């Protein structure tokens, strides 16, 4: 039994632009920023969202289709504000460049050259094009070449952006032919407990808990606090113009770390037979948070949803399904005897007041999540949990060129 799903992957390339057309592309990204700012400004004024694209397209110096795609992305930001209004309205005073978004075949085209390279043509302004070839990761180039030659892949939108003063093209491709195994056919359920400074994993099979791992990433919490301090000092000094720049730096740092952690999770899961990744369904968590201003800010910025999303789609490309369970009592319940009490947990130490079982609190929660996942997908056939392996810990590299975790170690 297997289910067919649509898998979307973003491929990143560097642009080798012909002659001096880099300036033309750069000017177009500045115009995209103006389109974004004007869209947000009109949306804040209460202008009908259906009227905004036509109002802006008449004055923008971009191709009409590209203008509409940039407007749509800006309105998505406003829609997310209305859904998650605790983050504040998006700013309409962005500085610098903004991604130039375009549809394949309309705003940009790709083709294979006789030399085996991939040529691009981006319509940056009416009757003005930027041409060149794509450079980048060999795996991404191979996927795009396959997409250009195969009906199983569909090339969709792309974004031309500037990163570290270099132009890049981020291309979205879709594969509707790849399948992901049904959750019910899984032989190993991996419970994932996402926390402020780590994720805890527990692999549960028919013979019990096979292995557990706690991946620490304290640098995210540290960097967020550092940027918060910097922003406060900047605001106090009256230099609010660099606020958006600081915010962008913080977001890029956090996103980079979360992508690496999610990739580590998927790679760890692949060692088990037919794994299924299970998360807590925390969609309503923010609505129930009321712990004071300082703690609310920390809890609202928990990266749980980003890690869940990144892990889910990376797992899908490896054929690993994802499941969701009710988070009730996963942190308070003893995995050995099932006793539930809030006092069981104190920081990173879990001690059951009924059976005296002691454990790493996050590892204990991941075991409970895995057990709930088995109960949901395997018709309640949860194996005995009377024997748990040692807790293994790994920590992501905080900096440097090495994209790998430190050596895992056992703790007691």
Q: What is the largest CA-CA distance in the chain?
A: 75
Confidence (pLDDT) at 167: 93
Sign of the Cα torsion 15, 18, 24, 28 reads negative
Hunting for tokens 């709930």 — which residue is that? Answer: 372
Query: Worst-scoring range by mean pLDDT, 64-73, 78-87, 300-309, 313-322?
Result: 78-87
Query: Worst-scoring range by mean pLDDT, 23-27, 144-148, 224-228?
Result: 224-228
Confidence (pLDDT) at 159: 94
Alpha carbon distance 56, 34 (integer Å):
10
Confidence (pLDDT) at 142: 84
Specify the higher pLDDT residue, 242 or 310: 310
403 pLDDT more than 50: no
Query: Worst-scoring range by mean pLDDT, 39-48, 90-99, 180-189?
Result: 90-99
32 Cβ contact list (under 8 Å, min separation 6): 62, 66, 70, 97, 98, 99, 100, 101
Query: Any idea which fold 182-411 has?
Result: Nucleotidyltransferase; domain 5 (3.30.420)
Q: Where are the domains of the chain?
A: 2-175, 182-411
Read off the tokens for 68.
């509409």
Confidence (pLDDT) at 286: 53
Confidence (pLDDT) at 289: 55
Confidence (pLDDT) at 200: 94
168 pLDDT more than 60: yes
Hunting for tokens 């002659």 — which residue is that? Answer: 19
Query: Worst-scoring range by mean pLDDT, 109-118, 169-178, 229-238?
Result: 229-238
pLDDT, tens only, 347-392 = 889 988 888 889 999 999 999 999 999 988 776 678 777 788 888 8
Question: CB of 147 within 8 A of CB of 134?
Answer: no
| pLDDT band, very low/low/confident/very high, at 91 (cuts 50, 70, 90) | confident
Confidence (pLDDT) at 176: 66
Specify the higher pLDDT residue, 222 or 359: 359
Specify the higher pLDDT residue, 173 or 234: 173
């Amino acid at each position: 039994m297997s289910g067919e799903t649509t898998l979307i992957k973003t491929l990143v390339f560097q642009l080798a632009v012909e002659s001096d057309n880099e300036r033309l592309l750069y000017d177009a990204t500045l115009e995209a920023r103006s389109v974004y700012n004007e869209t947000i400004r009109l949306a804040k004024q209460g202008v009908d969202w259906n009227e905004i694209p036509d109002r802006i397209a008449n004055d923008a110096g971009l191709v009409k289709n590209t203008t509409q795609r940039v407007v749509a992305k800006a309105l998505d930001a406003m829609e997310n504000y209305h859904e998650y209004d605790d983050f504040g309205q998006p700013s309409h005073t962005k500085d610098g460049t903004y991604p130039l978004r375009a549809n394949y075949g309309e705003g940009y085209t790709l083709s294979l050259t006789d030399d085996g390279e991939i040529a691009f043509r981006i319509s940056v302004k009416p009757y003005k094009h930027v041409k060149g070839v794509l450079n980048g990761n060999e795996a991404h180039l191979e996927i795009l070449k396959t997409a250009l030659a195969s009906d199983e892949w569909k090339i969709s939108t792309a974004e031309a952006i500037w990163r570290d003063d270099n132009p890049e093209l981020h291309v979205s491709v879709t594969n509707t032919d790849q399948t992901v195994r049904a959750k019910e056919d899984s032989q190993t359920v991996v419970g994932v407990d996402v926390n402020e400074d780590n994720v805890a994993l527990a692999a549960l099979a028919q013979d019990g808990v096979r292995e557990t791992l706690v991946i620490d990433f304290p640098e995210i919490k540290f960097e967020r606090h550092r940027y918060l301090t910097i922003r406060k000092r900047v605001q106090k000094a009256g230099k609010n113009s660099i606020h958006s720049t600081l915010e962008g730096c913080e977001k890029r740092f956090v996103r980079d770390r979360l992508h690496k952690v999610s990739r580590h999770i998927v790679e760890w899961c692949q060692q088990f037979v037919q794994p299924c990744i299970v998360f807590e369904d925390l969609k309503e968590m923010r609505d129930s948070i009321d712990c004071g201003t300082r703690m609310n800010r920390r809890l609202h910025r928990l990266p749980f949803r980003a890690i869940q999303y990144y892990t889910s789609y990376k797992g899908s490309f490896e054929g690993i399904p994802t499941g969701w369970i009710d988070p009730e009592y996963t942190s308070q319940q003893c995995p050995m005897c099932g006793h539930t009490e809030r006092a069981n947990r104190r920081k990173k130490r879990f001690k059951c007041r009924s059976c005296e079982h002691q454990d790493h609190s996050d590892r204990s929660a991941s075991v409970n999540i895995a057990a709930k996942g088995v109960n949901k997908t395997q018709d309640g056939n949860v194996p005995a949990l009377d024997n748990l392996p040692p807790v293994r810990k790994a920590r992501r590299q905080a900096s440097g060129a090495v994209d790998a975790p430190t050596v895992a170690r056992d703790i007691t």
